[in-house]
């Protein structure tokens, strides 16, 4: 943690100033200590990752996707809530 606060050549430190950098970094680190917020953040990131890997999970529509017998008929689509 101390390494983060004492990195003098950071472009961000030069842009916003050392005092604002230290205050902002401490605020972010403090916010990440909240168990409930971390849980929400984790689930939100997991949701984003799953939708990127499996875009069909986010599709709106009926219970089953269309298509003939040989083209994925009968596949279930999970609706995003």
Model pLDDT for residues 44-57, shown as the tens digit of each residue: 999 999 999 999 99
Within a domain: 69: no
What's the CA gap between 21 and 4, in Å, rounded? 10
pTM for this structure?
Answer: 0.44
Which has the higher per-residue pLDDT, 10 or 14? Answer: 14
Within a domain: 29: yes
Within a domain: 54: yes
What's the domain count of the chain? 1
Q: Are 75 and 53 in contact (CB under 8 A)?
A: no
Neighbours of 45 (CB within 10 A): 10
In 3D space, the residue among 76, 75, 79 whose CA is nearest the CA of residue 51 turns out to be 79
The range of the structural domain enclosing residue 34 comes to 2-58
Backbone angles phi, psi at 67, to 5 degrees: 125, 160
């Amino acid at each position: 943690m101390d390494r983060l606060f004492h990195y003098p050549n950071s472009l961000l430190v030069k842009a916003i100033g050392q005092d604002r950098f230290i205050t902002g970094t401490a605020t972010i680190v403090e916010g990440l200590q909240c168990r409930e917020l971390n849980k929400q953040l984790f689930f939100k990131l997991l949701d984003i990752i799953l939708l990127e890997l499996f875009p069909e999970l986010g599709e709106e529509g009926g219970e089953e996707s269309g298509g003939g017998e040989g083209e994925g008929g009968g596949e279930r689509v999970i609706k995003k809530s």
